[in-house]
Amino acid sequence: MGGHRDTSTAETFHVPILVREVVELLVTDRRGVYVDATLGGGGHTRAILKELDSDGRVIGIDMDPEAIAAARAKLADDQRWVPVQARFSHIKDVVQEMGVSECTGVLADFGVSSHQIDRPQRGFSYLADGPLDMRMNPGVGTPASDLLQKLDEAELASIFHRYGEERMARKIARAIVAQRKMQPLAHTRDLAAIVESVVPGKHAVKSLARVFQALRIAVNEELCEIEAFLDAAFDVLKSKGRLVVISYHSLEDRLVKQFFRMKARGCICPPEAMMCTCGHQPEIHILTKKVVRASEDEIRQNPRARSAKLRAFEKV
Ligand SMILES: C[S@@+](CC[C@H](N)C(=O)[O-])C[C@H]1O[C@@H](n2cnc3c(N)ncnc32)[C@H](O)[C@@H]1O
């Protein structure tokens, strides 16, 4: 992911995606308070700050300490923002602790940063050998190697199937269980070798991507995080406040789409009802009737933008 192998500076940490579109949809008040719930290298935060007056504010959340450090370095001269190391599902607590009662806009750019993928030590990629970790915050939680060691065959298969939509999920899970009886899988190369042994020839590359994605989602409980985040982000928004979300695969986007649909619903009477008695009103106005995609030009410069889908709403 991302075309950037040099991850040593804040500038090359991650190339932000759909920046113009994010800013146009998100920033409605130059003096507002915004949350960038996935700070990463601070690329989107920097773009938002450019649009704000001297009393506009951004709270930047990330659970990865390396992201917090990189963004802090990149935006060190700007007093209008503050980084917070936290899970984005805790956005309500973060905002409250900042003494903010309501936010003007919230942005989430899900998934992993190029920095996380490109650093072998983080264990996210099958392209380079490293410890099988995959935790976005290496300080907490269970590394991928432990999951591979302790889950049974059915649980592993379910992860590869549900989170990676991998057709050979069962076979791969079986091979992992056989292998770990001899030696625990400690390195990305160990897992990659198993996938390559089960999935023949040119199909192996896609399976590698799917298995690594699935494991990453499980390690970081990504889908539960997104569900909790969407609810909490809605709650912290003021009336007319906006949520902008970028997702990168169908599992993420499905949760976003379902949430938007539920909140945009008017009447919730049963379909057989002759007339509306619920009086339910839509809670949001969807701003992106059609999902927003990156231009060919952006995709050429940054291939990771190809899978990005942006959706946004305004709270009623
Ligand atoms: C795609 S990157 C964001 C890049 C950022 N927009 C930029 O401009 O550099 C996603 C970031 O979200 C963080 N992240 C993912 N899940 C998270 C969660 N549940 N809580 C907090 N941060 C999370 C990752 O650590 C990563 O840095």
Output the CA 246–ligand 1 centroid distance in Å: 11
Q: Could you identify the atom of ligand 1 that is nearest to the CA of residue 87?
A: 20
Contact 246, 110 (CB under 8 A): yes
Q: What is the DSSP letter of 77?
A: T
CA–CA dist 43, 227 (Å, integer): 24
Cα–Cα distances in Å, from 32 out to 7, 26, 90, 187? Answer: 32, 11, 21, 45
Q: Which of 81, 101, 104 is nearest to 23 (CA)?
A: 104
Residue nearest to atom 12 of ligand 1 (CA): 38
Q: What is the pLDDT of residue 86?
A: 98
Tell whether ligand 1 has an atom less than 6 A from the beta carbon of residue 114.
Answer: no
Output the CA 282–ligand 1 centroid distance in Å: 30
Fold adopted by 137-219: DNA polymerase; domain 1 (1.10.150)
Contact 149, 204 (CB under 8 A): no
Give the chain's length: 316
CA–CA dist 237, 281 (Å, integer): 17
CA–CA dist 314, 26 (Å, integer): 9
Tell whether ligand 1 has an atom less than 6 A from the beta carbon of residue 91.
Answer: no
Q: What is the pLDDT of residue 10?
A: 58
Q: Which of 133, 116, 5, 127 is nearest to 65 (CA)?
A: 116
Q: Could you identify the atom of ligand 1 that is nearest to the CA of residue 19?
A: 8
Could you tell me the pTM of the whole model?
0.94
Q: How far apart are the first and last CA of the chain?
A: 36
Q: What is the pLDDT of residue 271?
A: 87
Q: Could you identify the atom of ligand 1 that is nearest to the CA of residue 107?
A: 6
Q: What is the pLDDT of residue 8?
A: 44
Q: Map residue 128 onto helix, strand or coil.
A: coil
Strands (E), the chain: 33-36, 57-62, 81-85, 103-109, 237-247, 284-286, 309-315
Tell whether ligand 1 has an atom less than 6 A from the beta carbon of residue 40.
Answer: yes
Tell whether ligand 1 has an atom less than 6 A from the beta carbon of residue 66.
Answer: no
Pairing mode of beta strands 309-315, 284-286: antiparallel
Q: What is the DSSP letter of 220?
A: T
Question: 302 phi and psi, to 5 degrees?
Answer: -145, 90
Tell whether ligand 1 has an atom less than 6 A from the beta carbon of residue 2.
Answer: no
Q: What is the pLDDT of residue 9?
A: 58
Which sequence spans correspond to the domains of the chain?
10-115+222-315, 137-219
At how many degrees (to 10) do helices 19-26 and 43-51 cross?
Answer: 50
Query: pLDDT tens track of the chain, all 316 residues?
Result: 333 343 445 567 899 999 999 999 999 999 999 999 999 999 999 999 999 999 999 999 999 999 999 999 999 999 999 999 999 999 999 999 999 999 999 999 999 999 999 999 999 999 999 999 999 999 999 999 999 999 999 999 999 999 999 999 999 999 999 999 999 999 999 999 999 999 988 889 999 999 999 999 999 999 999 999 999 999 999 999 999 999 999 999 999 999 999 999 999 899 899 899 999 999 999 999 999 999 999 999 999 999 999 999 999 9
Long-range contacts of 263-271 (CB under 8 A, 24+ apart): 263/234, 263/313, 264/313
Output the CA 266–ligand 1 centroid distance in Å: 33
Q: Map residue 202 onto helix, strand or coil.
A: helix
Contact 13, 39 (CB under 8 A): no
Q: What is the pLDDT of residue 200?
A: 84
Q: What is the pLDDT of residue 222?
A: 98
Domain spanning 10-115+222-315: CATH 3.40.50.150? yes
Q: For a substitution probing ligand 1, which of 118, 136, 227, 229 has the most ligand atoms within 8 Å of its CB?
A: 136
